[in-house]
Amino acid sequence: MPTTDGQSGRMAAVEPPEKTSQRSAFIYAAMVAGAVGLFVIIKTAGKLLSAPAQSGPVRFGRIAQAAASGELAHVLLALVIIIVFARGLGAAFKKIHQPEVVGEVIAGIALGPSLLGRLAPSASSFILPVAVAPYLNIIASVGVILYMFLVGVELDTQLLRRRTHASVAISHASIITPFLLGSVLALYLYPRYSSRDVPFTVFAMFMGVSMSVTAFPVLARILTDRGMNKTRMGTIALACAAVDDVTAWCLFALVVSIAAAKPGRVLLTVGLTAFFIFCIFKFVQPAMKWLVRKRVRDKKTTQGTMVIVFAALLLAALSTDAIGIHALFGAFLLGAVIPHDSALARDVTAKIHDLVVVLLLPAFFAFTGMRTQIGLVNGLNQWLVCGLIILVASVGKFGGSSVAARITGLSWRQSASLGILMNTRGLMELIVLNVALDLGALKPTLFTMLVLMAVVTTVATTPVLHLLKGEEELEAQGYPGRGELRKAMKDA
**Can you give the pLDDT at residue 331?**
92
Ranges of residues in the chain whose predicted pLDDT is under 50? 1, 8, 11-12, 66, 68, 474-489, 492
**347: alpha, beta or left? (left if phi > 0; alpha if psi -120 to 50):** alpha
The answer as to whether 333 is a domain residue is: yes
Instruction: Return the percent helix, strand and coil in the chain, to nearest 5.
Output: 80, 0, 20
- Residues near 290 by Cβ (< 8 Å), separated by ≥ 6? none
Q: With helix as H, strand as E and coil as C, how does 113-144 read?
A: CCCHHHHCHHHHHHHCCHHHHHHHHHHHHHHH
pLDDT reported for residue 281:
92
User: CA-CA-CA-CA torsion for 176, 317, 289, 280, nearest 10 degrees?
Assistant: 60
Q: Considering the domain boundaries, does residue 357 fall inside one?
A: yes
What 3-state class would DSSP assign to 488? helix
Neighbours of 473 (CB within 10 A): 23
Residue 38 maps to a domain = no
In a domain, 19, yes or no: no
Q: In the prediction, which pLDDT does 62 show? A: 56
Number of domains in the chain: 1
Kindly state whether residue 204 falls inside one of the protein's structural domains.
Answer: yes
Whether residue 207 is contained in a domain is answered as: yes
CB 432 within 8 A of CB 253: no
Residue 447: its pLDDT value, please?
95
Q: What is the pLDDT of residue 492?
A: 44
CATH assignment at residue 260: 1.20.1530.20
Residue from 276, 255, 280, 262 nearest 436 by CA: 255
With contact defined as beta carbons under 8 Å apart, do 231 and 472 qualify? yes
pLDDT at 238: 80
Cβ pair 429, 207 in contact under 8 A: no
Closest Cα partner for 415 from 243, 236, 273?
236
Domain that includes residue 204, residue range: 72-476
Residue 62 resides in a domain: no
How many Cα atoms within 13 Å fall on the side-chain side of residue 450?
33
In a domain, 306, yes or no: yes
